[in-house]
Amino acid sequence: MKKLAHLAVALATAGALTLSACGAGGDPLAEPSSSPSASGGGGGEEVVVGSANFTESQVLGELYAQALEAAGVPASTRPNIGSREVYLTALQDGSVSVVPEYTGNLLLYYDANSPASTPEEIEAALEEVLAEEQLVLGTPSSAADQDVYVVTGEYSQTHGITSLADLTKVDDEAVLGGPGELAERSYGPPGLAEIYGVEFAEFRPYDAPAVKIKDLNDGKIQVATFFTTEAAIGDNGYVALEDPEGMILPQNVAPLMASAVADNPAAVEALDAVSAALTTEDLTALNKSVDADRRNPDEVAAEWLAGKGLA
């Protein structure tokens, strides 16, 4: 059930105020990293692939850039730019030309009033709103990564919490942990209060997932947000809370492109091939390789592409 319409103006204003604050971990105007460009049929101007400040986005950025190179399209990466507000600004000003995106949250960013709720409705709505921004969404993958609220297994059992609606039992004493930008998201505290009547005693921002995990396990926070493809959920036996009102929209992975990239058939074909081959299980495994096995995003991306015959 979509009940977020009247949050749109307030959240958009708050999002604008975070532009200068959400770029931790990287300078969006710094020179991109590059690798030798492949020769061949793509050609044209270099495609700069940006990514947000979390593991999966950086892996996806490497997948896109290396697939472009393999198709003969010169490409480089500019990783760890920051939150959506920051990397979309970089996309608009030409600092980057492709970024990995998630369909539902991207639609909410541009149109919190949209009634779209299914993957197909979200894709159609995005096509319309992105045209006004002179941006193009590539073919969405079946791979998806939802935002999800979790509690420890012990906390769930003790307090009888299995869904977001159950959080009203503990919200006056519980602390929520998540990335700093969650505080202003429509699927963060504003949405929880509006849709579920949940208002936590405190919101605690985290940049480092390992610290958030430790604090959740130690009881310093009682609820935390993760992505569904994070291995930490299963590894720690966390209980993913159900979302009966559909506050969190479907989040299929897709490349978001500047119009110049969308006009390059070789580039579009390479990016679409990644989307077609990628699965949610692949995303989970790739994330674990980086976060748990301490491998580099470019290394695990190259291995995956080779295994799929895309490099």
pLDDT of residue 113: 86
CA pair distance 125, 205, nearest whole angstrom: 31
CA pair distance 182, 176, nearest whole angstrom: 10
DSSP structural state of residue 44: S
DSSP annotation string for 272-294: HHHHHH--HHHHHHHHHHHHTT-
pLDDT of residue 257: 98
Token pair for 73: 């399209």
> CB of 207 within 8 A of CB of 180?
yes
Q: Which residues pair with 47 in a beta bridge?
A: 75
- Please list, in sequence order, all residues whose beta carbon lies within 8 angstroms of the beta carbon of residue 226, skipping any fewer than 6 positions away: 147, 148, 150, 209, 232, 233, 238
Strands (E), the chain: 33-34, 47-50, 75-78, 98-102, 135-137, 147-151, 175-178, 202-205, 223-227, 239-240, 253-258
Fold of 147-240: D-Maltodextrin-Binding Protein; domain 2 (3.40.190)
**CATH assignment of 5-144+252-307, among 3.40.190.10, 1.10.357.10, 3.30.160.20, 3.90.1520.10:** 3.40.190.10
CA pair distance 229, 98, nearest whole angstrom: 22
CA pair distance 108, 129, nearest whole angstrom: 11
pLDDT in tens, the chain (311 residues): 444 433 443 443 344 333 333 333 333 334 454 443 333 334 568 999 999 989 999 999 999 999 999 999 999 999 999 989 999 999 999 999 999 999 999 999 999 889 999 999 999 999 999 999 999 999 999 999 999 999 999 999 999 999 999 999 999 999 999 999 899 988 999 999 999 999 999 999 998 889 999 999 999 999 999 999 998 999 999 999 999 999 999 999 999 999 999 999 999 999 999 999 999 999 999 999 999 899 999 999 999 999 999 98
- Phi (first) and psi of residue 198, to 5 degrees: -100, 125
CA pair distance 308, 311, nearest whole angstrom: 8
pTM across the whole model: 0.77
pLDDT of residue 9: 36
Q: Helices (H) and strands (E) in the chain — how many of each?
A: 13, 11
Domain boundaries, the chain: 5-144+252-307, 147-240
The number of beta carbons lying within 10 Å of the beta carbon of residue 203 is 17
Q: How many CA atoms are closer than 13 Å to the CA of 276, on its beta-carbon side?
A: 10
CA pair distance 287, 300, nearest whole angstrom: 9
Using left for φ > 0, alpha for ψ between -120 and 50, and beta otherwise, residue 166 falls in alpha
CA pair distance 28, 31, nearest whole angstrom: 8
